[in-house]
Structures are given as structure tokens and as C-alpha cells.
Amino acid sequence: MSPKAGPVRVENATRGTLVGDRIRVAASVRDRTVGLLRTPALEPGEGLWIEHAPSIHMFFMRYPIDAVFVDADGRVTKIVPALRPWRVVWWARGARDCIELPVGAAQAAGIQEGDELRRMQPSA
């Protein structure tokens, strides 16, 4: 899925819940490097799906996030709720990507390790 395609919708297929309907995809090196650094905060429904990011750092971030790590099939391998600025998740075993969400969004969507998250184009 191209990062130029705009935000995507992410659903928890296991639980039948919406994770977010305005999730940006960071596929390029530049987009993965910048991440959420230039955003003042994440609103409900927003987030960032970072491809090829089995570890993340929160250096220079201004607000905490929920970090959800998934493998190549979208299966959740690790959840780090309320990850604060200046913290690091060195490596999430088995993860390929990381989804960064507003604090509380992972719990609200009922996300648990082993759940399958699906990325799709938003409905018109």
C-alpha cells in the first residue's frame, strides 16, 4: 500500500473493532524517521503505521502514545501502552511493523497479543 494513498483504516479482525480510521502509513525512510515528531498530538482515530520498525524511540516526542507491534501478517506481537517521551522499545520479538496510536486506543479497540490487525482503504 503506497504512503501516497492517504490515511488507511485499521481494524482488529479478531475482535471486530475499529483501531483507527485515519492511520497514516510511513513506508519511506524519511517518513519512518520523522514519524510523529512534527505532530502536536494524536486525535482519536488517528495514528501512524510504521513499516519495518520492530523497535522505536520516543526521543523529542511531546506526548505519550500506545505502541502496537505486529508481524508481517498483522498479528500483534507486543503492546506498549502509554509509552512516554524519551523512552525506547529496543526490539519487539517477531515484529515487523509498529502502529503508534493515541494513549488508550489499544485498550479501547480491545487489542491483545495474537490479534490480527487489518489495514484497508477507508470507505468512501
- What pLDDT digit, counting tens, does each position of 38-75 carry? 899 999 999 999 999 999 999 999 999 999 999 999 99
In terms of Cα–Cα distance, which of 115, 22, 11, 16 is closest to 69?
115
Which CATH number describes the domain made up of 3-120?
2.60.120.1140
For 30-44, what is the mean pLDDT?
92
CA dist., res. 47 & res. 92, Å (int)? 19
Asked if pLDDT for residue 123 goes beyond 70, the answer is: no
Q: What confidence tier does 5 reach under pLDDT thresholds 50, 70, 90?
A: low
In the chain, where are the structural domains located? Answer: 3-120
Cell of 17: 473493532
Q: What is the mean pLDDT of residues 87-98?
A: 96
Element (H, E) at 20: strand 17-26
Stretch 83-94: mean pLDDT? 96
